[in-house]
């Protein structure tokens, strides 16, 4: 018996659609870029009819737009639209994770663990396609197993745009590693059948992804002061972490941030040697402060992949809040939310660039003071 391995026209169409979808998700075609049919035919080696049908399918997924007298072009997802998508995801995926924790069968939980294993392998291999596809599989298992088909239908209608945003957010240095840790927390809560914890972990994951997208769209980082400041496209300095207590990545929810934002004073203007650069937004600086104080590490060891600016800039921001008298109120809210331990020390900045361990210029519990040697 002979095996028929001929490629059918339908298979060609599916492959063409898949390749175009991947090219858009990976940024090979920029948002707003025109997609010329003749050029695509030559590059992909398929007929114009196949290209047109593939573009129609991608248009139904909202990945491309087709305007009169202009033709098809890659859709532009605005920041406002992305915020709306993440808002819907937070509501629905949080509920789906809680329902899945209650209702999932042991087989479904095992499948979810395999999808998470695939994602972590893709992170190690630095495979952009693998990261997106395994994340989609992870959520597909949750959405199918949650028992609410309407949640699944709504998220499925947004899936193409969600995957575009996923690819963009995970392209940020270190974001994929942080995302894996967030998904592991979801997995642990589901394995423990803890529905409230699964909901919180899923919502925190969506919020962190949204913040990563916002940072990728409009982040302006502080000018480095020394070799200890962060190089965004470089390798983050290794963290001194314990095997039993790895650093925890904080997530400040919208409700908590709304309370804190009203307390904070206006951001101080840039120093005169860097007048053209905008300061790190307060919310990102706060995440860096929580990371350092909560994990009790040096400001020098604030990872670049958190997107919070340099450890020095976060230290300065906390110093400004201390001088304005608002830090005790902020700290109290963070302690109540469980983001800081009670009595966490307000660490001053270390001397940077000196050999050997960092040394603090003031007592740990005392107020922050600039080092005359540095400034």
Q: What's this model's pTM, rounded to 2 decimal places? A: 0.54
Quick count: other Cβ atoms within 10 Å of Cβ 228? 22
Same domain as 373, residue 259: yes
Average pLDDT over residues 148-173: 84
Closest by alpha carbon to 22, among 156, 170, 133? 133
The tally of domains found in the chain comes to 3
At 26, which CATH number? 1.10.10.10
What value does the mean pLDDT of the chain take?
76
Same domain as 88, residue 46: no
Measure the CA–CA gap between 195 and 115, rounded to whole angstroms: 20
Helix (H, G, I), strand (E, B) or coil at 254: helix
Query: Is-contact 65 155, C-beta < 8 A?
Result: no
Q: Which of 23, 43, 74 is the last residue of a domain?
A: 74
Q: Classify residue 184: in a domain, yes or no.
A: yes
Most confident of 187-191, 302-306, 313-317: 187-191
* Distance (Å) of CA 262 to CA 56, 229, 258, 309: 47, 29, 7, 22
pLDDT (tens digit per residue) in 175-186: 888 888 889 999
Model confidence at 308, pLDDT cuts 50, 70, 90, reads: confident
Model confidence at 88, pLDDT cuts 50, 70, 90, reads: very high
Quick count: other Cβ atoms within 10 Å of Cβ 86? 21
Q: Classify residue 13: in a domain, yes or no.
A: yes
Q: Classify residue 240: in a domain, yes or no.
A: no
Same domain as 120, residue 163: yes
Query: Is-contact 351 374, C-beta < 8 A?
Result: yes
**Radius of gyration of the chain measured on its C-alpha atoms:** 24
Same domain as 135, residue 63: no
Helix (H, G, I), strand (E, B) or coil at 42: helix
Identify which has the larger pLDDT, 363 or 343: 343
Please give the residue range of the domain that contains residue 122. 79-218
Q: Classify residue 234: in a domain, yes or no.
A: no
Q: Which of 19, 50, 74 is the last residue of a domain?
A: 74
The beta-strand segments (E) located in the chain are 64-67, 71-74
């Amino acid at each position: 018996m002979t095996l028929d391995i001929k490629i059918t026209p339908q298979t060609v169409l599916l492959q063409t659609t898949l390749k175009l979808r991947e090219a858009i998700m990976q940024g090979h075609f920029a948002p707003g870029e025109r997609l010329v049919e003749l050029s695509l035919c030559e590059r992909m080696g398929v007929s114009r009819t196949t290209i047109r049908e593939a573009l129609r399918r991608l248009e139904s997924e909202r990945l491309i737009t087709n305007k009169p007298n202009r033709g098809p072009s890659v859709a532009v997802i605005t920041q406002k639209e992305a915020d709306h998508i993440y808002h819907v995801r937070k509501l629905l995926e949080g509920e789906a994770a809680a329902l899945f924790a209650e209702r999932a069968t042991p087989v479904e939980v095992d499948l979810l663990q395999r999808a998470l294993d695939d994602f972590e392998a893709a992170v190690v291999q630095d495979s952009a396609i693998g990261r997106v596809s395994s994340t989609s599989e992870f959520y597909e298992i949750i959405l199918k197993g949650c028992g609410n088909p309407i949640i699944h239908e709504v998220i499925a209608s947004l899936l193409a745009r969600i995957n575009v945003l996923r690819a963009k957010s995970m392209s940020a240095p270190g974001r994929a590693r942080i995302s894996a840790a967030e998904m592991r927390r979801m997995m642990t809560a589901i394995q423990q059948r803890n529905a409230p914890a699964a909901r919180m972990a899923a919502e925190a994951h969506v919020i962190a992804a949204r913040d990563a997208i916002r940072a990728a769209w409009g982040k302006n980082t502080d000018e480095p002061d020394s070799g200890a400041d962060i190089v965004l496209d470089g390798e983050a300095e290794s963290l001194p972490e314990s095997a039993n207590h790895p650093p925890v990545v904080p997530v400040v929810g919208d409700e908590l941030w709304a309370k804190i934002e009203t307390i904070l004073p206006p951001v101080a203007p840039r120093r005169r040697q860097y007048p053209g650069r905008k300061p790190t937004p307060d919310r990102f600086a706060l995440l860096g402060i929580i990371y350092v104080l909560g994990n009790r590490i040096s400001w020098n060891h604030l990872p670049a992949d958190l997107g919070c600016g340099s450890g020095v800039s976060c230290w300065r921001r906390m110093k400004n809040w201390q001088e304005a008298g608002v830090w005790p109120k902020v700290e109290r809210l963070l302690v109540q939310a469980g983001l800081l331990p009670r009595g966490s020390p307000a660490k001053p900045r270390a001397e940077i660039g000196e050999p050997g361990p960092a040394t603090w210029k003031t007592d740990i519990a005392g107020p922050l003071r600039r080092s005359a040697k540095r400034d």
